[in-house]
Amino acid sequence: MVQFIEQVINGLQLGFVYALIALGYTMVYGIIRLINFAHGDVFMIGAFVGYFGFAVWGLPWPVAILVSMAVCAVVGMAIERLAYRPLRAKGAPNIATLITAIGVSLFIEYFTSLKFVFGPNYRVVARPFAVQVFHLGPVSISSVQILVITVVLVLVAGLQYIVYRTKVGKAMRAVSHDRDAARLMGIDVDRVISYTFAIGSALAAAAGVLFALAYPQISPFMGIMPGLKAFTAAVLGGIGSIPGALLGAVLMGQAETLTAAYITTDFRDAIAFGILILVLLLRPAGLLGKAGPEKV
Amino acid sequence: MLEVNDLRVSYGHIEALHGVSFTVAEGEIVTLIGANGAGKSTTLRALSGLVRARSGQVRFCGKAITAVPAHKIVALGMGHVPEGRRIFANMSVQENLELGAYLGDSRTLAADLEAVFGRFPRLRERRAQLAGTLSGGEQQMLAMGRALMLKPKLLLLDEPSMGLSPLLVQELFETIVEINRRGTTVLLVEQNAAMALDIAHRAYVLETGRVVLSGPAADLQDDPQVRQAYLGGHAV
């Protein structure tokens, strides 16, 4: 039982990191119906900037997270401005934008692998603090787990506030619901899309730094698997839905961790993706998604 | 207030408007009538910037607006209630109205909300309700209220009577006349030509992307051609 609770906490930590990434996928999808395949690479850049922040530049880790979020917000806006907006302005079909997204992803991975950028090798992250283990009765929980879970909860609460309580958030929901009607309200749709990329990318950056703290090894290709898992989580929960992304991510984290703990680590990913296939067979729109025809 | 000159709009290779010209003077109700597919909605969408004109000029309050993006045209004082109402169904009535005031001064928001609630008391009763759960008539009120939040100089109405019962249509048209009386110029697109001609000062008849007839609404009401084609009746 104790071991089970500890595994659930491990799964929660992993799922919460996925959640931060999944939010970006789902928000961007909600607003421009695009799977931004470069999102996992923004997560990777976030991990590197955070690592440089606390390990190289000697910033306190909370400041390193904030710096990384700011840098990635700009990176996300730049990707949208340079790669996706020109296509949108020309009325390109969605499939063209999707392929562009894959291109952007590969570009970031191989560009950052260059020696004068991040370099192709793994780097081991020295944590900026010593890991402490706390005991709640027989259950032990580490300071990293507490940190990850707390930071994610704070950021999700912040996102909730932005989306439901601010003017920008209201504009984002309006654009997501009906772009033309939003324009008739005087909403500058391009600007709202830009903000959406900024927010999603900042969350991915925070996820990257937390990931580097929890699983301390980083490389230019580290974003692929977590990106894919988070994308899966977003689809599982119902892409376009913020609560769906959170739910999907928590389920993915549990499925992966519990499979590794009780069945075998080899099946970890197979089971996680198997769940996705099963859920989509039964509920094509995802757990919390709205049913309806959708073109990719 | 509005001058439209030789407006042409294409969807892909198909030209939907083949050079439409008309004017709307301050204080008027002008109606565009015509059959389905005549280009009425396209004309309104081109005016408010939702579709780009291929050629031609639109001047609004003396300013050329054919190249101005939609969200900036709103700021110039043009409100557009689109066909099918296009309310934000998953937001509350009040949030819909607040979005209508997106460009407005937040200090006058409460007063502007009050003004709209004054005109449409039903919306006040339902302010916290999700807009998608309103009846068709209430949704039309909401769509109009939302466009009125910024007190536009010119209000474009696209098929406001669509899907409403005759009684509600009657009420709606009285509201349009009232809004006009309080100083808002109205450009009304309607398939219900009889009602539209009843309240309009002037009218233009559109056929397959062209203006084929125009004049004071009362004259068109008596025009045998119009009676035959759009009023479903015979000359008395």
Q: Express each pLDDT in B92-111 by its tens digit.
A: 999 999 999 999 988 999 99
Alpha carbon distance B29, B27 (integer Å): 7
Q: B71–A173: do the CB atoms touch at under 8 Å?
A: no
A169 pLDDT above the threshold of 90:
yes
Alpha carbon distance B208, B194 (integer Å): 20
Amino acid at A271: I
Q: Does A90 touch chain B (CB under 8 A)?
A: no
Q: What is the complex's ipTM, to 2 decimals?
A: 0.92
Question: Domain containing B40 — which CATH number?
Answer: 3.40.50.300
Predicted pLDDT at A296: 40
Candidates B106, B175, B108; CA nearest to B137 is B175
Amino acid at B78: M
Nearest-by-CA chain B residue for A183: B71
Q: B102–A187: do the CB atoms touch at under 8 Å?
A: yes
Predicted pLDDT at B233: 59
Structure tokens at B15: 């030209």
Number of domains forming the structure of chain B: 1
Query: Which phi and psi angles does A138 have, rounded to 5°?
Result: -85, -10
The alpha carbon of residue A277 is apart from the nearest alpha carbon of chain B, in Å, by 29
Q: Is residue B124 part of a domain?
A: yes
> With contacts defined as CB-CB under 8 Å, which chain B residues touch A186?
71-72, 74-75, 102-103, 150
Q: B99–A188: do the CB atoms touch at under 8 Å?
A: no
Banded model confidence at residue A2, pLDDT cuts 50, 70, 90: confident
Nearest 10 degrees: Cα torsion B66, B70, B76, B81: 110
> Quick check: B11 and B56 in contact, CB under 8 A?
no
Nearest-by-CA chain A residue for B71: A186
Q: B102–A180: do the CB atoms touch at under 8 Å?
A: no
Q: Which of B86, B90, B98 sits opposite A181 (nearest CB)?
A: B86
Proportion of chain B above pLDDT 90, given as a percent: 84
Alpha carbon distance A127, A215 (integer Å): 10
Q: B99–A170: do the CB atoms touch at under 8 Å?
A: yes
Q: How far is CA B67 from CA A41, A192, B58, B73, in A?
A: 37, 21, 9, 10
Conformational region of residue A129, where left means phi above 0, alpha means psi within -120 to 50, and beta covers everything else: beta
Q: Is residue B235 part of a domain?
A: no
Q: Does A185 touch chain B (CB under 8 A)?
A: yes
The alpha carbon of residue B149 is apart from the nearest alpha carbon of chain A, in Å, by 10
Nearest-by-CA chain B residue for A174: B88
Proportion of chain B above pLDDT 70, given as a percent: 98
A172 pLDDT above the threshold of 50:
yes
> Quick check: A95 and A87 in contact, CB under 8 A?
no
pLDDT for B155-183, tens place per residue?
A: 999 999 998 999 999 999 999 999 999 99
> Quick check: A141 and A134 in contact, CB under 8 A?
yes
The alpha carbon of residue A284 is apart from the nearest alpha carbon of chain B, in Å, by 21
Q: B99–A178: do the CB atoms touch at under 8 Å?
A: no
A294 pLDDT above the threshold of 50:
no
Amino acid at B67: A
Q: Does A184 touch chain B (CB under 8 A)?
A: yes
Q: Is residue B121 part of a domain?
A: yes
Q: Does A165 touch chain B (CB under 8 A)?
A: no
The alpha carbon of residue A275 is apart from the nearest alpha carbon of chain B, in Å, by 30
pLDDT for A4-28, tens place per residue?
A: 999 999 999 999 999 999 999 999 9
Q: How far is CA A2 from the centre of its chain?
A: 30
Structure tokens at A277: 């296939």
Q: Is residue B68 part of a domain?
A: yes
The alpha carbon of residue B69 is apart from the nearest alpha carbon of chain A, in Å, by 9
> With contacts defined as CB-CB under 8 Å, which chain B residues touch A288?
none
Q: B50–A180: do the CB atoms touch at under 8 Å?
A: yes
Low-confidence ranges of chain B (pLDDT < 50): 235-236
Q: Is residue B236 part of a domain?
A: no
The alpha carbon of residue A88 is apart from the nearest alpha carbon of chain B, in Å, by 14
Predicted pLDDT at A161: 95
Q: E-strand spans in chain B? A: 2-11, 14-24, 29-34, 55-60, 63-64, 78-81, 154-158, 185-190, 202-207, 210-216
The mean of the pLDDT values for chain A is 92
Question: What is the biggest distance separating any 2 CA atoms in chain B, rounded to whole angstroms?
Answer: 56
Average pLDDT of the segment spanning A57-69: 96
Q: A170–B95: do the CB atoms touch at under 8 Å?
A: yes
Q: How far is CA A61 from CA A16, A128, A129, B82, B146, in A?
A: 19, 7, 9, 51, 46
Residues in B whose CB is inside 8 Å of some CB of A read 48-50, 69-72, 74-75, 79-80, 82, 86-91, 95, 98-100, 102-103, 146-147, 150
Q: Does A188 touch chain B (CB under 8 A)?
A: yes
Quote the domain boundaries for residue B38: 2-230
Predicted pLDDT at A293: 47
Banded model confidence at residue A292, pLDDT cuts 50, 70, 90: low
Alpha carbon distance B219, B199 (integer Å): 13
pLDDT for A226-278, tens place per residue?
A: 999 999 999 999 998 899 999 999 999 999 999 998 888 888 888 878 888 88
Structure tokens at B68: 């101005």
Q: How far is CA B9 from CA A79, A120, A146, B44, in A?
A: 32, 52, 59, 11
> With contacts defined as CB-CB under 8 Å, which chain A residues touch B88?
173-174, 177-178, 181
Residue by residue, DSSP assigns B76-129 as TTEEEE-TT----TTSBHHHHHHHHTTTS-GGGHHHHHHHHHHH-HHHHHTTTS
Alpha carbon distance B212, B226 (integer Å): 11
Q: Does A88 touch chain B (CB under 8 A)?
A: no
Structure tokens at A281: 């067979």
Candidates A43, A46, A29; CA nearest to A97 is A29
